[in-house]
Amino acid sequence: MSGAFLFSALQPQALVCYNLYQTKTMRKRSAFTVIELLIVLTIVSILISIVVVNFFRLQNDAKSAKVRGDLRILKVAVESYAIKRGDYPAALPDILLDGNIISVLPTDTFKPSDTFGYSVSPDKNVYAIWSAGENLATSGITAWVGKMPIPSEPDDIGVTNGTPPNENWH
């Protein structure tokens, strides 16, 4: 009986110790730890940086698409001018003289304060129209090699009725 008495005498003390252990280690947490917050902030900042980079890339792609559309419109206007007048215009604003072709020259989307560049080959048979491109450098045609204009900047976007000099030209 003494063994049963000893067990029953120690049992309340063991329960008190167990309850103290349980309340210290298994209690409800009401806040996040600093490490958990830092991990979440790191993940969120990585996701935001990915979104921002993609946003600016898509914005440049949209500008390029608009420029290509405007260049096609100008190419049709220059060709229409040449059909009506017999030669290509000396300058891009000359196509405005005949109000039936185009009423307003579009501006360069990459450089809104500027119009598109325009050049006619020395033999007056080939022309080129171009945009400054993403680097916004004011550029021009450095030379004509046969029917191919040579742009001064590789990122220029343009159209020509001759041979396109690179993949940005059509």
Taking the C-alpha atoms of residue 133 and residue 136, their distance in angstroms, rounded to an integer, is: 6
Task: Kindly tell me the sign of the dihedral angle through the C-alpha atoms of 98, 100, 103, 107.
Answer: negative
- Asked if 71 contacts 105 with a C-beta cutoff of 8 angstroms, the reply is no
CATH number at residue 111: 3.30.700
**Containing domain of residue 121, as a range?**
65-160
Taking the C-alpha atoms of residue 66 and residue 60, their distance in angstroms, rounded to an integer, is: 10
Query: Per residue in 37-69, pLDDT tens?
Result: 999 999 999 999 999 989 988 988 898 899 999
Whether 168 is in a domain gets the answer: no
Q: Output the pTM of the full model.
A: 0.67
Taking the C-alpha atoms of residue 124 and residue 93, their distance in angstroms, rounded to an integer, is: 17
Whether 149 is in a domain gets the answer: yes
Q: What's the Cα-to-Cα distance from 1 to each of 6, 8, 10, 100, 158, rounded to whole Å?
A: 9, 11, 14, 118, 104
Whether 141 is in a domain gets the answer: yes
Q: What is the mean pLDDT of the chain?
A: 79
Query: Per residue in 2-44, pLDDT tens?
Result: 555 545 555 555 555 555 555 555 556 678 889 999 999 999 9
Determine the pLDDT at residue 8.
53
Structure tokens at 25: 């280690």
Task: Give how many domains the chain has, as a whole number.
Answer: 1
